[in-house]
A and B are shown apart, each in its own frame.
Chain A
């Protein structure tokens, strides 16, 4: 349900790569000499399709940006100005001149650290909670209304509560990340547990496996793909929310950096930050998809 509506922009470019690996393994297994000339021609076309459309898409974006920047007098900097600024910003990403003036590298790392702590705590609580809710119907009926009530709340609404309880900007931001990334992990893990095929549980029952063996050999591997989807959604949401949270709390972080540059009326830096946030989000997503494909096995066809 949750997993089904989630589509990654990376999925399409990933598909040809997956094809390449499977064909490679098939070749290795049959060990017959492959028809090399035809193979390279096809690979070349695949590469062409993998590279050309994304490049064209980016070019369109830049073109549109240039058009808007040069026709209106809104103060949006042109792509070239932004590029020069970006070169300057990235020439020294790790300088530090006091707590309010640090390089973009430190800002990104500070944000990533908050996301990691908040997300990590959410995983520690959310994944076991998901297993428990999935396994016991009573718990599921008890907790589900609470989740339905709290999940639609904007994570930023929790920020004041965090400030009140933790009396500090940093823990409050982490608290916000925690609360926004816990729901997808609880829900996906619980759904995964509920969807473990009955066949596998029958095997466990016939073998009379211990609860620990059932968990390690059947439940956990069967739920892992769902769990990783939950993790992916959680990290994605956390990265969305941290920027907003940091704008409100201040300190060091990419969100604060955006706000600071806005106060300096340094709009090209904001555009750079948008790209940086996008690229970091993309990398997080990409890494998690890679991990997920490692743990996805063929389902039993009945």
Chain B
């Protein structure tokens, strides 16, 4: 771990998808490094390849060109040390919430811990997102927001080295979202997790991250600008609401998204 500043290192990554109409260049010239314990937000308009980049870091897809490293090792495929919170929660509908989380806990910790400890871990993860009362319900019986929280609990329960989140709070109402953002801040502060989060919510990006990666519009999207957010932690949304520095960061992101990268609808 002598390379903590470049815990995740992305070098000259290019991603092209083969479609029926020919090659579609999704990403080009991506160079990015994420330090250990850093919270990075990827922001950009829809279709700019934020999720594609996240899938590359997860190892779910391999880049057409370039290299991705995590802890000095090439990312060759997905693994539990890089947990993913999926955009559409991806819970297994035939398992209860408890079983969905237990599946992940069991995979990571079964070798070293007994059943009672695995059970305790699962319950702790569900309690963290406030879902112990729904533990024995199936995903079909709970709301979309609750499903997303189970998805977060599942990812956190694995104690991953890197937490990858694909618009995790997008489907939630504003109050639940704020509550979960605060919880995430708290959890990240305690676990010193490295987080990469895709979002299109400017406030969320500024509130949570150390670094905001702003992406240009696709196709062939790339990193337009990287903004370091030097707000002291722990952060409180109430105190930050009229903090001039916070407002300045917010303005910078909005300026990038709506002035320089104003979304032009593609003429198909």
Judge whether A297 is part of the interface by a CB distance below 8 angstroms.
Answer: yes
* List of B residues within 8 angstroms of A299 by Cβ: 93
Also in contact, A298 and B93, with CB within 8 A (given A206-B82, A208-B78): yes
Check A217–B103 contact: CB distance below 8 A: yes
How many Å from the CB of B253 to the closest CB on chain A?
28
A25 to chain B: closest residue by CB: B141
Check A300–B93 contact: CB distance below 8 A: yes
Check B92–A207 contact: CB distance below 8 A: no
Contact with B along A201-227 (1 / 0, CB 8 A): 011011111000100011001000000
The interface centre, meaning the residue of B92, B95, B158 with most chain A CB atoms within 10 A of its CB, is B92
* List of B residues within 8 angstroms of A205 by Cβ: 60, 77-78
Interface residues on A, range: 20 to 34
The docked-state distance in angstroms from the alpha carbon of A196 to that of B86 is: 17
* List of B residues within 8 angstroms of A203 by Cβ: 86, 90, 92
Also in contact, A221 and B94, with CB within 8 A (given A199-B86, A206-B78, A208-B79): yes
Check A202–B107 contact: CB distance below 8 A: no
Contact of A206 among B79, B88, B91, B140 (CB under 8 A): B79
Contact of A199 among B78, B83, B88, B103 (CB under 8 A): B88
Check A297–B93 contact: CB distance below 8 A: yes
Check A209–B107 contact: CB distance below 8 A: yes
Judge whether A84 is part of the interface by a CB distance below 8 angstroms.
Answer: no
* List of B residues within 8 angstroms of A302 by Cβ: 88
Check B92–A206 contact: CB distance below 8 A: no
A221 to chain B: closest residue by CB: B94
Check B107–A200 contact: CB distance below 8 A: no
Contact of A297 among B58, B82, B107, B138 (CB under 8 A): B138
Contact with A along B177-220 (1 / 0, CB 8 A): 00000000000000000000000000000000000000000000
In the complex, chain B residues 55-103 whose Cβ is within 8 Å of any chain A Cβ: 58, 60, 77-80, 82-84, 86, 88-95, 103
A218 to chain B: closest residue by CB: B92
Judge whether A141 is part of the interface by a CB distance below 8 angstroms.
Answer: no
Contact with B along A115-136 (1 / 0, CB 8 A): 0000000000000000000000
Judge whether A7 is part of the interface by a CB distance below 8 angstroms.
Answer: no
Check A202–B103 contact: CB distance below 8 A: no
* List of A residues within 8 angstroms of B79 by Cβ: 206, 208
Also in contact, A202 and B88, with CB within 8 A (given A209-B107, A298-B140): no
Contact residues of A: prevailing secondary structure: helix
Interface residues on B, range: 20 to 34
How many Å from the CB of A264 to the closest CB on chain B?
53
* List of A residues within 8 angstroms of B60 by Cβ: 202, 205-206
Judge whether B104 is part of the interface by a CB distance below 8 angstroms.
Answer: yes
Check B95–A217 contact: CB distance below 8 A: yes
The docked-state distance in angstroms from the alpha carbon of A297 to that of B89 is: 16
Judge whether A301 is part of the interface by a CB distance below 8 angstroms.
Answer: yes
How many Å from the CB of B229 to the closest CB on chain A?
28
The interface centre, meaning the residue of A295, A299, A300, A302 with most chain B CB atoms within 10 A of its CB, is A300
How many Å from the CB of A299 to the closest CB on chain B?
7
The docked-state distance in angstroms from the alpha carbon of A297 to that of B138 is: 9
Contact of A202 among B80, B82, B90 (CB under 8 A): B90
Check B88–A207 contact: CB distance below 8 A: no
In the complex, chain A residues 165-187 whose Cβ is within 8 Å of any chain B Cβ: none
How many Å from the CB of A197 to the closest CB on chain B?
8
Judge whether B44 is part of the interface by a CB distance below 8 angstroms.
Answer: no
Judge whether B139 is part of the interface by a CB distance below 8 angstroms.
Answer: yes
A205 to chain B: closest residue by CB: B78
The docked-state distance in angstroms from the alpha carbon of A209 to that of B107 is: 7
Check A298–B139 contact: CB distance below 8 A: yes
Contact with A along B133-168 (1 / 0, CB 8 A): 000001110000000000000000010000000000
* List of A residues within 8 angstroms of B92 by Cβ: 200, 203, 217-218, 221
In the complex, chain B residues 88-129 whose Cβ is within 8 Å of any chain A Cβ: 88-95, 103-104, 107
In the complex, chain A residues 72-121 whose Cβ is within 8 Å of any chain B Cβ: none
Contact of B88 among A209, A221, A300 (CB under 8 A): A300
* List of B residues within 8 angstroms of A200 by Cβ: 90, 92
Interface of A toward B, CB cutoff 8 Å: 199-200, 202-203, 205-209, 213, 217-218, 221, 295, 297-302
The 3 closest A-B pairs by CB, nearest first: A298-B140, A297-B93, A221-B94
Can you sample 26 A-B contacts with CB below 8 Å?
A: A199-B88, A199-B90, A200-B90, A200-B92, A202-B86, A203-B90, A203-B92, A205-B60, A206-B60, A206-B84, A207-B80, A207-B103, A213-B107, A217-B92, A217-B95, A217-B103, A221-B94, A297-B93, A297-B94, A297-B138, A299-B93, A300-B88, A300-B89, A300-B90, A300-B91, A300-B139
Besides A206-B80, A209-B103, 8 other A-B contacts (C-beta < 8 A): A202-B60, A202-B78, A202-B86, A205-B77, A213-B107, A217-B103, A297-B93, A298-B93
